[in-house]
Each structure stands twice: as structure tokens, then as C-alpha cells.
Copies of this chain bind each other. A is one copy, B any other.
Amino acid sequence: MATLTLPDQLNAAQRWCVTRGEKLTDIRRDVLSLLLSHGHSMKAYDILSELQQSRPTAAPPTVYRALDFLLQVGLIHRLDSLNAFVACPEFALPHHHGVLLVCENCHGVTEIADAPWMSHLTDAVAALGFTPGHQELEIKGLCSACQKTNPGAPA
């Protein structure tokens, strides 16, 4: 996995949007850039605070609109369990069935793309007549780093 620089990541995102007939405007790029450069997940109002460093007039809708767009085109994920957002490092993978491992302690996120057992899950669910939507599963727990410093936290 070649680690791209931030400008390269942004350029790739730009191309991804154009391919889909969408525009990565300045605001949207700025929000994505914040998420990419942080690496970990961010809350909407934290993004807003940082965005206001360069855009003093930014307001909640400014951020939420950009986040909604980035979610639509698949450049970021929303973490329902944290009310937070994280950049998706693998946005260009086709039929991307991801699992997000969310650490309850440090709020770090590890993404697993195309896990082999994922198809078992979607098959079993489909057999019940249920059609999964965006297939991003969120599993809460403790990452390996936090288990060491935090012995015995969840169940």
C-alpha cells in the first residue's frame, strides 16, 4: 500500500469526484484535507473550529454540507457510534464492503476493506429478505494499543 502525500490524496479525490460528475469545491476539499491530515476521526464541530482558522465565516451548515457531499461520493465515513467522521483511505476500491473497527478509548479507526467473511454476512442477511444499504459495519471495542494501557475496559 503506497502511502500518498496529502496533495496526492486530494488530487486523487478530485479525480474521483470528476469521474462521478461531481465537483470537489474549495470548502469540500478543505474539509477533506482536515480529515485526511488528522488521520483519526473528527467531530463536526471540531472540523468547524479548524475550518474557521482559514474561513472565519464558516458556520455549522458549511461543515455539514461538505460532510454530506463527501459521504455521498464515498470519500469519508460517518461513525454513528461516535457522531464523528473519518476519511476513507480506500475510496476507489470497487464494491467496497468495509468494516470499521472503532476504539472506544482513543477513538482511532481501523478500516478493513473486503474482508472474506463479509459475503457470508451479506448472504445470511439477504436470506432473511433484508437488503443491506451501505455495508459499512462499525465494531466498537479496544484497539491493540489501548488494551495494553487500559486493562479490562469494555465487557
Contacts and interface: CB of A to CB of B under 8 A. Distances in A.
A137 interface: yes
Interface string A101-140: 1011000001010011100110011001111111101111
Contacts of A80: 80-81, 138
Contact of A143 (B101, B129, B134, B143): B129
A32 interface: no
A124 B116 CA distance: 10
Interface string A86-100: 000000000000010
A124 B115 contact: yes
Task: Give the contact-size bracket for chain A.
Answer: 20 to 34
Secondary structure at the A interface, as helix, strand, loop or mixed, is mixed
Contacts of A115: 124
B133 A104 contact: yes
Contacts of A120: 117, 120
A155 interface: yes
B101 A125 contact: yes
Given A115-B124, A117-B121, A117-B124, 14 more contacts: A101-B125, A112-B125, A117-B117, A120-B120, A125-B141, A128-B144, A129-B143, A129-B147, A130-B139, A131-B154, A132-B141, A134-B154, A134-B155, A138-B138
Interface of A: 80-81, 99, 101, 103-104, 110, 112, 115-117, 120-121, 124-125, 128-135, 137-144, 147, 154-155
